[in-house]
Structure 1
Amino acid sequence: MNIRFAQETDLDSIQKVIETAFSDEENKVIMNLVAELAKETTIPSIKSLIAEKDNQVIGYVSYSPIFLKSDSTISGYILAPLAVSPEHQKQGVGSNLINSGIDMLTKDGVSVLVVYGDPEYYGRFGLKEEVGRSFMPPYPLEYPFGWLGMTLKDTAIPDTPIKFECVAALSKPDMW
């Protein structure tokens, strides 16, 4: 398996992975999100990775910057979405994409990574509810127990929660 940065030419293959990895009601929303993330330009930049096997895209993850409203010394990213084609699930593809992303963000000097997902799955990578509570997403969460975070360097967790904004593609209430 090879992990590399996603390129514009990978979008159709990424969309196929998402279409098969999610239910019919979810995949259209996520395919739309991925198309928007691919077009959006931000500073710092959105970073998307793909997993390939035999020159075929089998997994995808995107990391988008978050913009903290009251603390400019902390830089953060949100992991969303993560997708692995069904025939390659439970083979470490998602884990490799997440670990590669954590390594990349750590090397880039990012302070915090947040995710909205299954605590059991993401907890394996060190993402915790206690850290997530320190960073308030832009919209109320349908499942607050799924809001997790981790520090990537010696970053002090704020005493009071900090509100943040997301890139445009994630700044929609239905994403939360």
Structure 2
Amino acid sequence: MEFSLFESTATDEVVELFTRVFSASEGAAEGQSIGFLVSSLITTTPADSLIGCVAKDGTRIVGAIFFSRLKVPSGQRAFLLSPVAVATEVHGTGIGQALITFGLDQLRSQGTDLVFTYGDPAFYSKTGFAQIDESIVAAPYPLSQPIGWLGQSLDGSPIPAMRGVTECVEAFANPDHW
């Protein structure tokens, strides 16, 4: 398995991967919605605010993740991990966790302080994420599942309590995503 940074030449293949994976697990409508989200994330997010990572099996992309800039009240350099997709036929092989670890290493090397995500605590805790109460750091929009608001400090220090709003990139600026 080869891990690398996302390149825009792979946009169509990555959008198709997300559409296929989410259609298989959540239904065709959700697959189309996530595919559109990924396309929007790639095309509307400034290059310095988006980091994508892919897992390749030979020449085929079997996993992809994106980190987008998240403005936090403390002013620390922060990113949001979302979305994540691993081809259905390779689920359970550790590719997703290895891809997230690769991405976190990329962020760490670029001086990122904090990373947040919104998802399954059992899955993301395997790569260092822990539940964050919104009284510590608020999500950009009200959460339908507050238990899924997760974060981690990339330098090992505790995540400081912050007063104020967080701001996500344009593609995530829709309460339906939260």
TM-score between the two structures when normalised by the length of structure 2: 0.90
Distance change >3 Å, CA 87–CA 133, structure 1 → 2: farther
Aligned residue-pair number: 174
Give CA deviations for 1:27-82 in whole Å, capped at 9, x if unaligned. 111111110111124373200111111200111000001012x322x110000000
- Structure 2: which 5+ residue stretches go unaligned? none
Q: In structure 1, the residue corresponding to 2:42 is in which secondary structure?
A: helix
Q: Percent identity, aligned pairs only?
A: 30
What is the identity, as a one-letter code, of the residue corresponding to 2:21? A
Name the counterpart of 1:71: 74
Name the counterpart of 1:159: 161
The reply on whether 1:39 has 2:38 as its aligned counterpart is no
Q: What is the CA–CA distance in structure 2 between the aligned matches of 1:84 and 1:149, rounded to whole Å?
A: 21
Name the counterpart of 1:9: 9
The reply on whether 1:135 has 2:131 as its aligned counterpart is no
TM-score between the two structures when normalised by the length of structure 1: 0.91
Name the counterpart of 2:19: 19
- Structure 1: which 5+ residue stretches go unaligned? none
What is the identity, as a one-letter code, of the residue corresponding to 2:34? I
Q: In structure 1, the residue corresponding to 2:48 is in which secondary structure?
A: coil
129-138 or 105-114: bigger deviation: 129-138
Q: What is the CA–CA distance in structure 2 between the aligned matches of 1:43 and 1:52, rounded to whole Å?
A: 22
Name the counterpart of 2:125: 123
35-44 or 103-112: bigger deviation: 35-44
Q: What is the CA–CA distance in structure 1 between the aligned matches of 2:54 and 2:134, rounded to whole Å?
A: 25
86-95 or 147-156: bigger deviation: 147-156
Q: How does 1:78-89 map to 2 (within 5 A)?
A: 78-89=80-91
Say what the alpha-carbon RMSD is for the aligned residues.
1.7
Give CA deviations for 1:80-139 in whole Å, capped at 9, x if unaligned. 000011011111111111000111111111111100000000011111114775221121
Distance change >3 Å, CA 103–CA 38, structure 1 → 2: same
